[in-house]
């Protein structure tokens, strides 16, 4: 890409897409295309084809997706698989038909088998049973990877896929029914603090381990790989370090300044026991994350307070 290249960021309003736009602008790219949902419905093949024919983007970051936590994934599986399949198929196929120079597709670490060896290497894909609580979403994301791979094989398209670990950051979703664990806990601890509640309830045992990557680090990796990576194999993006959920909860509790107790709701599921990505291939390309978990959570909490006009 050069600074005047026409770059389309699909999903620019989401946490990932907005971070990619921020990073592109910081690096000096000045021809970024984005469309609101009421202007472009990516689930509609006709809308997507019309957009590509009119705009002719040269590079595409496919960050648009229907996302959510355990509750949302297990409650609305049909919507998660349908919406994501349609978005991926429409954008990837239409990018091919309009001679897009390069496309980067963002998947998710939930594509790997539930009991995959840890840390999870790229080659573990499709070697075992998926976690049932997000199976529909995982199948859709696996399909996106395969689409990029086979369009590359058959048509020579320079389409690549990356698999981020669990993400958090500015513009995250803090809805308690649909959010992921980190923003949900941050909101719970903050509200418990201002309401002087004696305890915060946390789903499950707190024993599962998770890896967390600040979204601006992910955006930096995506732009780096768009410029420096070209292969049909997807590439993991993460920190290579994980923590128990109970440890995460205590980090957030301390940052928020909550003084009460943490109570485990053992009627709720834990999800996958561990999801740590092997990032050795990524690091070998020359990229490594920069933002620590504590530093990132502090940034998110400050943003959350500022956005909602809340004082600490």
Give binding residues for substrate as ranges.
188, 203, 210, 270
Give me the catalytic one of 59, 96, 112, 137.
Answer: 137
Give binding residues for NADP(+) as ranges.
11-17, 106-109, 141, 164-167, 180
Give binding residues as ranges.
11-17, 106-109, 141, 164-167, 180, 188, 203, 210, 270
Residues 157, 92: Cα–Cα separation, whole Å: 10
Active site includes 224?
A: no
Residues serving a catalytic function are: 137
């Amino acid at each position: 890409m050069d600074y005047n290249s026409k770059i389309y960021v699909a999903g620019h309003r989401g946490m990932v897409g907005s971070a990619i736009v921020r990073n592109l602008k910081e690096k000096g790219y000045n021809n970024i295309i984005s469309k609101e949902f009421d202007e472009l419905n990516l689930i509609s093949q006709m809308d997507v084809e019309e957009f590509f024919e009119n705009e002719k983007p040269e590079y595409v970051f496919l960050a648009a997706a229907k996302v959510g936590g355990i509750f949302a994934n297990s409650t609305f599986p049909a919507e998660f698989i349908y919406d994501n399949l349609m978005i991926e198929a429409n954008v990837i196929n239409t990018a091919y038909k309009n001679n897009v120079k390069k496309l980067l597709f963002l998947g998710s670490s939930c594509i790997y088998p539930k009991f995959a060896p840890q840390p999870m290497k790229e080659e573990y894909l499709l070697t075992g049973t998926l976690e049932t609580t997000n199976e529909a979403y995982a199948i859709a994301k696996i399909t996106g990877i395969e689409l990029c791979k086979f369009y590359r094989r058959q048509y020579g398209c320079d389409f690549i896929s990356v698999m981020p670990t669990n993400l958090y950051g500015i513009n995250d979703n803090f809805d308690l029914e649909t959010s992921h664990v980190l923003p949900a806990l941050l909101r719970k601890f903050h509200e418990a603090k201002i309401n002087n509640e004696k305890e915060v309830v946390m789903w499950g045992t707190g024993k599962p381990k998770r890896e967390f990557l600040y979204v601006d680090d992910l955006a930096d990796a995506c732009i780096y790989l768009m410029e420096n990576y070209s292969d049909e194999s997807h590439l993991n993006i993460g920190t290579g370090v994980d923590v128990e959920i109970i440890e995460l909860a205590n980090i957030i509790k301390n940052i928020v300044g909550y003084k009460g107790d943490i109570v485990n709701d053992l009627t709720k599921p834990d999800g996958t026991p561990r999801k740590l990505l092997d990032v050795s291939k990524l690091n070998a390309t020359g990229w490594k994350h920069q933002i620590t978990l504590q530093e990132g959570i502090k940034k998110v909490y400050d943003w959350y307070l500022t956005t909602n006009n809340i004082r600490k």
